[in-house]
A and B are shown apart, each in its own frame.
Chain A
Amino acid sequence: MADPPTVTLGAPGQVVADPTDEPPGLPFDRFYAGHVDRVHRALALALGDPALAREATDEAMVRAYARWDRVSRLDNPPGWVFRVGLNWATSWWRKVRRERPPLADERHPAVAAPDPAALAARTALDRLPTGQRTVIVCRVLLDLSTAETATVLDLSEGTVKSRLSRGLAELRAALAEKE
């Protein structure tokens, strides 16, 4: 057990609320229809593993459904779901991933997109350190502000800014190298 068990803010709790009486406001099915694909793509990019991202999305959506009376009242439910999925994926796969580093071909997109620029960007993103990649995903794909990203990822705003800055610089350099 070499990993320090870092506890992070915003981690999913264990209490399961009864969602049978959904509160007034955005119904879960509308939230699901409107956000599940975006959260899934964000997790796929952050985790670098589409299959794991799908499992994480499934898990996070079930947890959101179980707590929908409270999640629906949050300012940014997609951010919460993303964080829950990220936590779930990293906690389960932490050991396996440490013991089995991903092979180069496992980190490439699962589908061959007919968009060379997109594939180049995907490859460049995959090569970024996880922390930088996750910040970029939050800021760009989930459209979170610096403050929101800091809260979702349990980082200081300064760390978010520096990771974003370094990540974008490396991304730009990698893409320039490709060209």
Chain B
Amino acid sequence: MDVVPEPLTELVHRAAATTPAYPADLAGVRRRWRARRRRRRALLAGGLVALVALTGGAVPLLHGRAGIPADGPPAVAGVSSPAPAPDRVAQRLVISEAEWFVPDGSDRPKVGMAAVPAAEVRPDGSVVPYRVPEGFHLGAALPDGRLVGLVHRGGDRPRSPGANTEKAAIELVLVEPGGRERRWRLQARERVGIVGADDRTVYLVRPTGVVARDLSTGVETVVLDSSVVGPNLIDSDVRVTGGRIAVRSEATRTTCLIDVYDLAGRGRRGRVETGLGCQFVLSPDGTSLAAVHRASADTREQRLGIWDVATGRQLADVPVGTVTGDRATTGLVYGLAWDDDRTVRAVWAQLPPGADRVYQVPEVMRIVSASAQ
């Protein structure tokens, strides 16, 4: 069906009319734009200051944990930074999030959280920012310290529906230690996401399924066909680790079901049932799954759990924080990764009570750990 019948068209218009009229405020748009321009200029100036402060290149820019304020200068979007040195964790805990603000009715909200383009949270609590290209969408952190992500090239050019998209491209970007980049152009007209990576392979989700792309040759191989788990694989949460793939197969109002498949045998190896809103990651060996979730539909408390994939039995359960609909009080999970096959860390951040400015994530973040018993 390509034509909408007139009676349904009319009903959709009437349904839209139930939304209150938009309080148009053209002057407000202009004020917000001017405020944004001032903020960007201030950030740029701060970035230059941070650049000057970075001398040896081997000292973490920021330190902060468990709500202890950071000592160093603020993290700044796009700032050049030392590349993280390899350490002993199995999975690097890398956080990446856009800035956000608490709406206060004004054109210049003063309270919020600054952007984190990409930064590693090390086991000792130090935070080491990466230098990533503008528009970088973090996909995965490789064990050797490289990051792989996506950049939409040409995204600064608004394009019209139906416009020629040949010049637009999605690029796969590998950020190497020291900030060097390697880029590969991906097919622009197809949705794509990164769902995992190791030192030689990046795993992409495409409409056809999950594909393994060799980082040296660019050759792609389908490792899990969409038909195995359903046509909406690209809209599902998917993570590939340790030769296994975890797919959120179903989310209801009370539970989250995560199926784990073996990439080699392509058979299902287990199913884990967590609470609502699960954000999950497989252990390095693929035998356990950790998730931050809501333990009950009646509570907004988030908990960090570990489950055995084969049996579905829960092995650990620790509280994390509380999610609300109010940005002034809500917390967010910024990252989740395993230190080894037993211990997992989550980064949780929320504004402090009485927040009165824009905070850097390392200032207010809390690291929550859980170990499989």
Contact = CB atoms under 8 A, between A and B. Distances in A.
A58 B32 CA distance: 9
A149 B3 CA distance: 13
Nearest to A42: B16
Interface residues on A, range: 35 or more
Nearest to A149: B161
Interface in A1-20: 1-16, 19
A37 B22 contact: yes
A99 B12 CA distance: 29
Contacts of A110: 19-20
A23 interface: no
Interface in B236-255: 237-239, 248, 253
B4 A140 contact: yes
Contact of A9 (B152, B238, B333): B152
A41 B17 contact: yes
B128 to A, nearest CB: 17
A54 interface: yes
Contact of B165 (A2, A9, A144): A9
A55 B163 contact: no
Contacts of A57: 22
Interface in A26-75: 29, 32-33, 36-37, 40-42, 44-45, 50, 53-55, 57-58, 61-62, 65-67, 70-71, 74-75
Interface string A124-138: 010000010000110
A130 to B, nearest CB: 9
Interface in A90-127: 91-92, 95-96, 98-101, 109-111, 113, 115, 117-119, 121-122, 125
Contacts of A119: 15, 18
Contacts of B12: 45, 121, 125, 136-137, 140-141
Contact of B160 (A8, A41, A76, A122): A76
A55 B32 CA distance: 12
Interface residues on B, range: 35 or more
A37 B156 contact: no
A100 B300 CA distance: 7
Given A5-B149, A65-B29, A11 B155 contact: yes
Interface string B282-322: 00000000000010000010100000000000000000000
A65 B20 CA distance: 23
B37 interface: yes
A99 B2 contact: no
A166 to B, nearest CB: 9
B336 A1 contact: yes
B5 A151 contact: no
Interface string B11-30: 11111111111111010111
Nearest to B14: A118
A96 B331 CA distance: 9
Interface of B: 1-2, 4-5, 8-9, 11-24, 26, 28-30, 32-33, 36-37, 40, 94-96, 98, 100, 103, 134-135, 137-139, 149-152, 155-163, 165, 168, 170, 188-189, 191-195, 205, 234-235, 237-239, 248, 253, 276-281, 294, 300, 302, 323-325, 330, 332-336
Interface of A: 1-16, 19, 29, 32-33, 36-37, 40-42, 44-45, 50, 53-55, 57-58, 61-62, 65-67, 70-71, 74-76, 79-80, 91-92, 95-96, 98-101, 109-111, 113, 115, 117-119, 121-122, 125, 131, 136-137, 139-141, 144, 146-149, 151-152, 154, 161, 164-165, 168, 171-172, 175
25 contacts: A2-B278, A4-B193, A4-B205, A5-B193, A7-B150, A7-B170, A13-B157, A40-B19, A50-B19, A55-B103, A66-B36, A70-B158, A76-B160, A96-B332, A100-B300, A110-B19, A115-B17, A118-B17, A121-B11, A121-B15, A131-B235, A140-B13, A141-B13, A148-B162, A165-B1
